[in-house]
């Protein structure tokens, strides 16, 4: 027995999220706004793949192909982590005060979790499978590796919470009246620079919302499939 | 929108302008990081609550109802009634439990609703402590710090209070001191860890094979490496329950009183508290049983670590240091 409709709802939510991220890519290109190209591409892939894992009817790619997709994405984000740390250090921020090494680490963890799910639970990811993932629950209980899904799940949930905290950064605050913002000292000055930089980005709060949704759905799948 | 007046000076010319009272977004400070850690644990609980088993009558009959056993009739009757209702309306109960935990997690993570969510978490935790944990078995005589006493969910409530947002501008020696003040916060720590010390030497925990039996019972369904570790420790502790109980009580007692000591001793005792919490979590609680089957939370281990972090001495602010050096210079 499983929660009525929960898996169906999550599958639909994943498809909607994937479609939205695809839309972001098009809109950002048309309107020349900033977006995370690699993150949006990864979200599209994860949304479609997770929908297929949740409901067998929605499986799209042949066996083995998702492993290649997520393996390649994992290599890409691992490279980004290395590149960022070399340039800005482990605790540093990039020029627009928006990205920290954790940005790439988070997305690396997400695609690695997807890769792990396809490798560790091949029956669920198989195009020939007819059962959904909830009915295969607890297949790894009692094995040496049964803790791994929880490590991924908890990391994803921490990331969801962390991003949730950052969502108010992009709230539309009314601009201060007057021009003497710099006289308020470095704190206000940095805040103003951050706000100016943040405005370049396409719908950042919705991007964060898609990230949180993905993390939550993936954590749920990892816990249920373990 | 409410607005505050801010005065500034540029080149000798006084400026007066009106800015919104809303503070610019800033990176999370120590307290916010701990609040977010608490939110992550609530979110993890919500995900665990969405496991298929939680939507079956077994959630009420197998997970809730057993907590009535050994409790006084006044406590047990409410547990039995609730368990029965949860079994009858299994899906509704599952949705309510998962929904409440999700709401608390999201509320803490989103800055504008932190206070509401922390308040809700206190109310929810106290309710679940009674109905879902049988008051941590404190009244049954079988409570053990090794298995999560005084109840993980009570620690959620405690953390919500200690991490309550305090008015800006104040500074305290440690995060937990900000909402209540240093002395009440220290008394809470003293009460918690001395309580754990007392529970450690209860007659139940002093039985020669009591502790080893508890650890051995955790092996079923665990990952092979954890089951092997548990079996080995249980074998080593067999017949030594009394000695282990007294040693544990002494350790917890030291951790309890060290909160009133100077910073260096406090730091050492907080590290010790974290080590004890990890030992409890891994050996006694088997990571809350999350690996071995349906579990509703990761139990008390991570919460004890979070509590210790809330008592970690903070670095004095630069202004405090300047004031101190000015006093020294005057002296």
Question: Residue A116 has which token pair?
Answer: 């792990």
Q: pLDDT at residue B105 above 50? A: yes
Within the 190-209 window of chain A, which residues sit less than 8 Å (CB to CB) from chain B?
Answer: 191, 194-195
Q: How many CB atoms lie within 10 A of CB A83?
A: 11
Beta bridge partners of A100: A93
For the cut 50, the answer to whether the pLDDT of residue A181 exceeds it is: no
- Give A-chain residues touching B292 at CB under 8 angstroms: 141-142
Distance from CA of A205 to the nearest CA of B (A): 12
pLDDT band at B266 (very low <50, low <70, confident <90, very high): very high
Inside any domain, residue A199: yes
Alpha-helical segments (H) within chain A: 6-31, 37-54, 65-88, 101-120, 122-125, 148-166, 186-198, 204-225
Nearest Cα to B133, choosing from B63, B85, B219, B197?
Answer: B63
* Residues from chain A contacting residue B50 (CB–CB below 8 Å): 3, 6, 220, 223-224
Choose from A92, A161, A167 for mutation: most chain B CBs within 10 A. A161
How confident is the prediction for chain B on average, in pLDDT? 87
List pLDDT tens digits, range B191-221.
Answer: 999 999 999 999 888 999 888 988 988 888 8
A contacts of B18 (beta carbons < 8 Å): 177
Residues on chain A touching B106 (C-beta within 8 angstroms) = 164
Cα atoms found within 13 Å of the Cα of residue B126, Cβ hemisphere only: 8
> Among B134, B99, B151, B111, which residue's Cα sits nearest to residue B25?
B111
Domain limits of chain B?
A: 29-314
| A46 found inside a domain | yes
Q: Is the pLDDT of residue B74 over 50?
A: yes
CB A187 within 8 A of CB A135: no
Are the beta carbons of B44 and A157 separated by less than 8 Å?
Answer: yes
Rounded to the nearest angstrom, the gap between the alpha carbon of residue A210 and the centroid of all alpha carbons in its chain is: 7
Estimate to the nearest angstrom the gap between the alpha carbon of B278 and the chain centroid. Answer: 13
How close is the nearest chain B Cα to the Cα of A184, in Å?
6
| pLDDT class of A124 with cuts at 50, 70, 90 | low
- Asked if residue A153 has pLDDT above 60, the reply is yes
Q: Kindly report the CA angle at B154 between B95 and B220, in degrees rounded to 5?
A: 70
Per-residue pLDDT for B68 more than 50? yes
Q: Which candidate, B204, B289, B322, places its Cα nearest to that of A223?
A: B289
Q: Check the CA dihedral B86-B221-B105-B146 and report its sign.
A: positive
The rounded distance, in Å, linking the Cα atoms of B3 and B21 is 5
Using the structure block, give the residue that is written with the tokens 């305290």.
B172
Q: Is A194's pLDDT higher than 80?
A: no
> Is residue A1 included in any domain, yes or no?
no
Query: What six digits make up the tokens of A200?
Result: 């370049």
Q: What's the pTM?
A: 0.87
Q: Measure CB to CB from residue A3 to each of B94, B108, B292 and give the nearest one.
A: B94
B55 contacts A3? CB cut-off 8 A: yes
> What is the CB-side half-sphere exposure of residue B68 using CA atoms within 13 A?
16
Tell me the pLDDT tens digit for each residue of B249-262.
Answer: 999 999 999 999 99
Q: Which of A155-164, A170-179, B284-293, B302-311 has the lowest mean pLDDT?
A: A170-179
Q: How confident is the model at residue A79 (pLDDT cuts 50, 70, 90)?
A: very high
Asked if B8 and A191 come within 8 Å (Cβ–Cβ), the reply is: no
Of the pLDDT bands very low, low, confident and very high (cuts 50, 70, 90), residue A74 is: very high
pLDDT range class, residue B73, cuts 50, 70, 90? very high
Rounded to whole angstroms, what are the CA distances from B54 to A62, B47, B59, B96, B206? 34, 11, 5, 11, 35
Instruction: Judge whether residue A136 has pLDDT over 70.
Output: no
State the pLDDT confidence band at A129, using cuts at 50, 70 and 90.
low
Q: In this structure, are residues B320 and B170 in contact, taking their beta carbons and an 8 Å threshold?
A: no
Distance CA A173, CA B80 (A): 51
Q: Is it the case that residue A186 has pLDDT exceeding 80?
A: no
Residue A61: which residues within 8 A CB-CB, separation 6 or more? A49, A52, A69, A127
- In residues, how long is chain A? 226
| CB of A45 closer than 8 Å to CB of A117 | no
Q: What is the pLDDT of residues B40-50, one digit of tens each?
A: 999 999 999 99
Lowest mean pLDDT among A14-28, A66-80, A127-141, B8-22: B8-22
What is the per-residue pLDDT for B183?
96
Enumerate the H helices of chain B as residue ranges.
30-49, 58, 73-88, 90-109, 114-131, 152-162, 177-180, 182-200, 203-206, 210-217, 224-237, 241-257, 263-279, 301-310, 318-330
Q: Is residue A52 part of a domain?
A: yes
Residues A27-39 have a mean pLDDT of: 89
Q: Is the dihedral of CA A137, A142, A147, A148 positive or negative?
A: negative
- Read off the pLDDT band of A80 (50, 70, 90): very high
**pLDDT category of residue B14 using cuts at 50, 70 and 90:** very low
Note the pLDDT tens digit of each residue in B49-65: 999 999 999 999 999 99
CB contact under 8 A, A143 and B223: yes
pLDDT at A33: 87
Q: How far is B248 from chain A (nearest CA, A)?
A: 28
Bridge-partner residues for A34, per DSSP? A201
Closest Cα of chain B to A100: distance in Å? 12
Distances (CA, A) of B244 to B240, B253, B276, B300: 6, 14, 13, 20
CA A93 – CA A106 distance, rounded (Å): 15
Best residue of B37, B46, B52, B282 to probe chain A, by most A CBs closer than 10 Å: B52
pLDDT for residue B166: 84
* Tally of domains in chain A: 1
In the A/B pair of chains, how many CB contacts fall below 8 A? 132
In sequence order, which residues have a C-beta less than 8 Å from that of residue B67 and are 6 or more positions away? B79, B131, B132, B133, B134, B137
- Comparing CA positions, the residue from B275, B29, B44 lying closest to residue B174 is B29
Asked if residue B143 has pLDDT above 80, the reply is: yes
Spatial contact of B289 and B296, defined as CB atoms under 8 Å apart: no
Say which residue, A1 or B253, is predicted with more confidence: B253
Q: Using CB atoms and an 8 Å cut-off, which of residues 124-143 of chain A contact chain B? A: 134, 137-138, 141-143
- Three-state DSSP class for residue B6: strand
Which tokens belong to A38? 């690699």
**Could you tell me which of B128, B208, B113 has the C-alpha nearest to residue B165?**
B113
Domain, as residue range, for A197: 6-225
The proportion of chain B whose per-residue pLDDT surpasses 90, expressed as a percent, equals: 71
Record: contact B15-A160, CB cut-off 8 A: no
Burial status of residue B1 (CB atoms within 10 A of its CB: 0-12, 13-18, 19 or more)? exposed
Helix, coil or strand: residue A29: helix
Answer whether A168 sits within 8 Å of B293, measured CB to CB: no
Average pLDDT over residues A134-155: 72
Interface of A with B in 142-181 (CB under 8 A): 142-147, 150, 153-154, 157-158, 160-162, 164-169, 171, 173-174, 176-178, 180
Q: According to the model, what pLDDT value does residue A139 have? A: 57
* Nearest neighbour of B55 by CB, restricted to A1, A174, A187: A1
What is the rounded average pLDDT of the residues A20-45? 92
Biggest CA–CA distance in chain A, Å, is: 66
Facing residue for A224 by CB, picked from B36, B51, B226: B51
Nearest of B130, B94, B235 to residue A3 by alpha carbon: B94
Give phi and psi for B14, each to the nearest 5.
-80, 130
Mean pLDDT computed over B142-147: 90
């Amino acid at each position: 027995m499983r929660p009525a409709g929960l898996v169906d709802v999550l599958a639909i939510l994943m498809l909607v999220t994937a479609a939205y991220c695809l839309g972001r890519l098009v809109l950002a290109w048309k309107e020349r706004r900033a977006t995370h190209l690699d993150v949006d591409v990864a979200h599209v892939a994860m949304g479609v793949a997770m929908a297929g894992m949740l409901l067998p009817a929605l499986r799209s790619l042949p066996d083995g192909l998702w492993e290649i997709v997520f393996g390649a994405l994992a290599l890409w984000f691992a490279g980004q982590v290395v590149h960022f740390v070399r340039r800005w250090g482990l605790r540093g921020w990039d020029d627009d005060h928006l990205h920290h090494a954790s940005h790439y680490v988070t997305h690396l963890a997400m695609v690695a979790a997807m890769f792990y799910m396809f490798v560790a639970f091949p029956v669920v990811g198989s195009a020939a499978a007819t059962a959904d993932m909830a009915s295969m629950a607890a297949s790894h209980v009692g094995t040496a590796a049964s803790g791994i899904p929880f490590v991924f799940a908890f990391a994803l949930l921490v990331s969801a919470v962390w991003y949730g905290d950052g969502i108010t950064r992009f709230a539309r605050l009314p601009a201060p009246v007057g021009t003497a913002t710099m006289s308020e000292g470095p704190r206000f000055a940095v805040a103003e620079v951050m706000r100016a930089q943040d405005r370049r980005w396409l719908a950042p709060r919705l991007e964060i919302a898609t990230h949180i949704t993905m993390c939550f759905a993936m954590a749920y799948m990892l816990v249920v499939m373990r | 929108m409410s607005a505050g007046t801010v005065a500034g000076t540029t080149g000798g010319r006084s400026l007066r302008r009106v800015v919104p009272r809303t503070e610019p977004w800033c990176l999370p400070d120590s307290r916010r990081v701990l609040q977010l850690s608490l939110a992550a644990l609530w979110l993890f609980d919500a995900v665990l609550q969405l496991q298929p088993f939680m939507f079956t009558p077994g959630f009420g009959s197998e997970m809730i109802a057993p907590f009535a056993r050994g409790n006084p009739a006044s406590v047990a009757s409410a547990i039995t009634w609730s368990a029965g209702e949860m079994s009858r309306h299994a899906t509704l109960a599952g949705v309510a439990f998962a929904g409440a935990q999700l709401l608390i997690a999201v509320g803490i993570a989103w800055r504008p609703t932190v206070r509401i969510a922390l308040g809700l978490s206190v109310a929810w935790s106290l309710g679940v402590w009674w109905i879902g944990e049988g008051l941590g078995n404190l009244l049954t005589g079988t409570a053990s710090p090794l298995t999560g006493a005084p109840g993980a969910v009570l620690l959620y409530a405690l953390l919500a209070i200690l991490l309550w947002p305090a008015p800006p501008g104040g500074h305290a020696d440690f995060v937990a001191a900000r909402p209540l003040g240093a002395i009440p916060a220290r008394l809470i720590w003293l009460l918690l860890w001395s309580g754990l010390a007392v529970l450690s030497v209860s007659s139940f925990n002093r039985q020669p094979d009591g502790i080893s039996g508890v650890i051995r019972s955790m092996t079923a369904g665990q990952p092979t490496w954890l089951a092997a570790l548990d079996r080995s420790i249980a074998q080593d502790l067999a017949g030594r329950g009394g000695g282990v109980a007294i040693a544990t009580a002494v350790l917890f007692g030291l951790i309890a009183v060290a909160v009133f000591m100077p910073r260096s001793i406090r730091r050492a005792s907080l590290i010790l508290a974290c080590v004890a919490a990890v030992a409890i979590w891994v050996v006694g609680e088997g990571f809350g049983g999350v690996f071995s089957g349906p579990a509703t939370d990761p139990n008390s281990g991570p919460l004890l670590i979070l509590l210790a972090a809330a008592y970690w001495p903070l670095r004095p602010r630069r202004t405090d240091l300047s004031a101190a050096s000015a006093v020294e210079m005057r002296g």
